[in-house]
A = this chain, B = another copy of it.
Amino acid sequence: MAFYPVVVSPFLLPLRKFPKRLFFIPVLLFGIVFLVTSKAVVSSIQKYVRAANYISAAQIFLGDNFLLERPLSFADIKPRLLGHWGTAPGVNFIYANLNYLIKKHQAEMLFILGPGHGYAGLQSNLFMEGTLGKYFPFATQDLNGLGHVIKNFSWPYGFPSHTNPGTPGAILEGGELGYSLATAYGAVLDNPDLIAACVVGDGEAETGAIATAWHLSKFIDPSTNGAVLPILHLNGYKISGPTIFGRMSNADLLSLFKGSGYTPYVVEGEDEGVYEQMLETLEKCYQEIREIQKNAKTGKKLMGVPRWPMIILKTPKGWTGIKELGGLKVEGNYPSHQVVAAHAKEDVKELHAVENWLKSYNFGELFDPKKGFIKEIKDLVPDPSLAMGNSKYARGGKEVMKDLKLPPAEQFAEDAKIPGTMGSSSMRRAGLYLNEVFRLNKDVRNFRMLSPDETYSNKLDAIFETTSRASVMPSEPWDKDMGRDGRMMEMLSEHSLQGLMQGYVLTGRHAVFASYEAFVQIIASMADQYAKFISVMRNYPWHGQIPSLNYILTSSGWRQEHNGFSHQNPGFIDDMLHKRGCFTRIFFPPDGNSTLAVLKDSQ
């Protein structure tokens, strides 16, 4: 593995030991060694990406002849062409580079793919790293396995066209857009060794949910949580036109993300140079992440918000694909978004365009029908324990589930021997109970609460005896109940909190979301999508148990006469009632004691 050098920055060399005039020698030597190894790494990554791009495109088009052993014919083309090509080459490029980073540092990484419609790309990587074969035994890394994957992509009873609950390593569906970043932040909470690489597409970047989730870094204490490495992947186009972020200048992009609290790096291009940039930038980001975490743990530079690195990656839409078709610019333009040559099954010109495109990858050089991928590619793949598709964090079950200790409901019950006794506030009781939950589970770090309307407003502030509100922002002497290690997440963004909760719970930990009843309707759509996700997840036996999402709806309609009609909406409960009883349970505890009983037994 000569091409995985540990890159030591020259500035770390013991400079004082050398006479000044000899200084240039080690620097020069180092430069040459670095250049050679870096060239070798880039060459391997390029080969890996070429293979992944071939498989991505082949999945969309080919039903047979998937090694192109004979001239491509209409019969080889699938009868219904489905799948998104445009983002796939970028996804492959990112995945390959992350693989190199993981191997080099033996880093534990989770891959969160915002543009999950680019599943042809992700599945290629899962196949190449062997995790697809682990969970889908026909996907062996040989000729048969390759054929199985290509033929069964976007095929009835085969593999879906989008990232889905059956995708190894995935905790995000490739459907409704906007939730990648908050999910990634949720996954790294209380997982200090984990780095979640989160790809945000430039379509998704236009959603409100993403736009505000950039602020979530302001809640992450680097000494007790993992890190998110956001990669804003701008290929510039949606289905039929340009994206907002794709038309912003680099100066504006850098300004926007600096202002959002990050250290942004632009990686841009389409030739070898972009490979070199990405290699260097990812290494820099990794070092910055570890530096921030080290400083936080050793108490250095604790003040202020850490400026985590992020990458703005600009590569052409449909990079390496068909350049032009019927006079229309395809690569680097919107026609690359989905199926590129949609009439390849009837139109000879399009068929040839697909054939020439697929041949351009010289897949035969990279894959042997018997031995599988060439050594250079295999060497880039991390060990199964670190392969992103095989991440334990995405599988639920015993490996990651951290059981929650719950106190008995009686501990906080009120005397209600005389029928009709008016008890105290249900929420005050709930606050006492939840405070005890925080206390009992303090060392396990397996429980968080979230609220968009603030804990005090929801009368749950008894929890602040044990915990506080998470914040790494600058503090003032008069602040109360704020803490870098707080377990209560307060942000006026229902979307961000729901995303955080999904990321936290899907990786095996427990959470309660407290919201005014009226405004929780804001995330009805997210809750719908989540219910479908876990419904499908149950079909895959290798997915272990995960905890439930728990909502406490406060300030229900009848308590909102003072704030008015705008604060009344029972829509979320209606929405939940549409789901089957095996997915949702809804309780209406009429008093404090019943609330305690529900809290004890609903988890």
- Partner-B contacts on A (CB < 8 A): 80, 82, 117, 154, 160-162, 164, 173-178, 203-204, 206-215, 218, 238-244, 247-248, 252-261, 328-329, 333, 453-457, 461, 469, 471, 473-474, 476, 478-482, 490-496, 518-519, 521-522, 524-525, 528-529, 532-533, 535-536, 562-569, 571, 574-575, 578
Contacts and interface: CB of A to CB of B under 8 A. Distances in A.
29 contacts: A117-B563, A162-B564, A162-B566, A164-B565, A173-B566, A176-B522, A176-B566, A203-B492, A206-B215, A207-B492, A208-B493, A210-B212, A211-B211, A211-B214, A215-B244, A239-B454, A239-B456, A239-B457, A240-B457, A241-B480, A241-B490, A242-B482, A247-B474, A248-B259, A248-B261, A252-B261, A521-B524, A524-B524, A574-B578
B492 A204 contact: yes
Given A239-B453, A524-B575, A574-B578, 6 more contacts: A175-B563, A176-B566, A239-B454, A242-B482, A252-B261, A255-B258
Contact of A574 (B160, B259, B574): B574
A241 B454 contact: yes
A564 B175 contact: yes
Top 3 A-B pairs, shortest CB-CB distance: A175-B566, A256-B259, A208-B208
B479 A241 contact: yes
Given A208-B209, A208-B212, A241-B482, A528 B521 contact: yes
Contacts of A496: 208
Contact of A154 (B469, B493, B562): B562
A178 B495 CA distance: 12
Interface centre among A160, A206, A481, A536 (most CB of B within 10 A): A206
Contacts of A257: 259
Contacts of A575: 524, 571, 574-575
A127 B490 CA distance: 36
Contacts of A518: 175-176
B218 A244 contact: yes
A516 to B, nearest CB: 9
A578 B257 CA distance: 42
Given A244-B473, A571-B575, A578-B571, A212 B206 contact: yes
